[in-house]
Amino acid sequence: MSPESPRTNLEVVPDDEWGAAVGARLAERIAAQPGLRLCLPTGNTPVPAYRAFVKLGGRLDQTKLFLLDEFGLPGGHPARCDEMLQRSLLELATTAPAALHSIDVAADNVAAACRRYDDEVADGGLDLTVLGLGANGHLGLNEPGSAPDSPTRIVDLHAATVRNAAVYGEGAAPLWGVTLGMGPLLASRQIWLLVTGAGKAEILHRALTGPVGPEVPASYLQTHPDTVVLADHAAAASFG
């Protein structure tokens, strides 16, 4: 990897301070804007930040939450994103969010549920979208091949995403999911990309220095006017 500069704002935090730093930043951001419309990810990356947020007494009662994506798994499955959000944040926080929007993957018409979600998001927009980075460069479940203006929709998951989902619970292997589309995601007024661990260093380097295009959906963040990448040293190793 060459020591090129990232084409987005990049803030690097020592590995063992990352959770506390990002959790505190989230608590401050939420406190600063009552009524914040906040889209949150699940997966392993945000867990230390959510833990720190809870420890700091971070409140959600003035915040309207939007869940970034969901796997096509039965309700209550431990690998579902709504279950992960409950376990890692909502069950632990002192206050419930003012609203919680998600896409119903059990709806009779999931495509219609996706369109409804886009309407809910568009009705005020998103103030802040927090994201994790997929090992294949995906954002939410916008897999490689996703267009920058793609709407919220049903997606087929790439093999790597299916394999990775097993770590979230009971060897889950969802073949499809739903995701906030790249279009509404990039329309978010502010974006934080959370990235930790040496395993993400190479894809982070590609996302922030490589060509912008559908091969690495995270590369679209180079075009967003208010994105910050909050990485630990391990993930940002290529930037020196």
Burial 224-235 (b: 16+ CB within 10 A, else e): beebebbbbbbb
Whichever of 168 and 239 has its CB closer to ligand PGA, that residue is 168
Are 182 and 142 a contacting pair, CB within 8 Å?
Answer: yes
> Quick check: is 158 catalytic?
no
Residue 132 binds ligand PGA, judged by CB under 6 A = yes
Q: Could you give the C-alpha distances from 192 to 25, 107, 144, 163, 240, in angstroms and in order?
A: 11, 30, 20, 25, 21
Residue 86 binds ligand PGA, judged by CB under 6 A = no
In the bound complex, what is the minimum distance in angstroms from residue 126's beta carbon to ligand PGA?
17
Q: Which of 70, 82, 83, 143 is catalytic?
A: 143
Question: Burial level of 187, CB count in 10 A (0-12/13-18/19+)?
Answer: middle
> Quick check: is 138 catalytic?
yes
- DSSP assignment letter at 6: P
Compute the C-alpha angle 51/57/62, nearest 5°: 105
In the bound complex, what is the minimum distance in angstroms from residue 39's beta carbon to ligand PGA?
13
Collapsed DSSP state (helix, strand, coil) of residue 24: helix
Are 96 and 86 a contacting pair, CB within 8 Å?
Answer: no
- Segment near ligand PGA (CB under 6 A), from 21-29, 132-140, 148-156, 210-218? 132-140
> Quick check: is 143 catalytic?
yes
Q: How many residues bind ligand PGA (CB under 6 A)?
A: 7
Are 195 and 235 a contacting pair, CB within 8 Å?
Answer: yes
- Segment near ligand PGA (CB under 6 A), from 10-18, 117-125, 126-134, 224-232? 126-134
> Quick check: is 70 catalytic?
no
Residue in 89, 94, 104 with CA at minimum distance from that of residue 38: 89
Residue 181 binds ligand PGA, judged by CB under 6 A = no
Residue 45 binds ligand PGA, judged by CB under 6 A = yes
- Segment near ligand PGA (CB under 6 A), from 43-51, 72-80, 94-102, 208-216? 43-51
Per the structure block, which two tokens stand in for 133?
Answer: 């980075």
d(Cα 164, Cα 201) in Å, to the nearest integer? Answer: 17
Whichever of 54 and 79 has its CB closer to ligand PGA, that residue is 79
Q: Which of 6, 19, 43, 183 binds ligand PGA (CB under 6 A)?
A: 43
Whichever of 115 and 173 has its CB closer to ligand PGA, that residue is 173
Q: Which residues are catalytic?
A: 69, 136, 138, 143
Residues of this chain that interact with ligand PGA (CB under 6 A) are 43-45, 132-134, 138
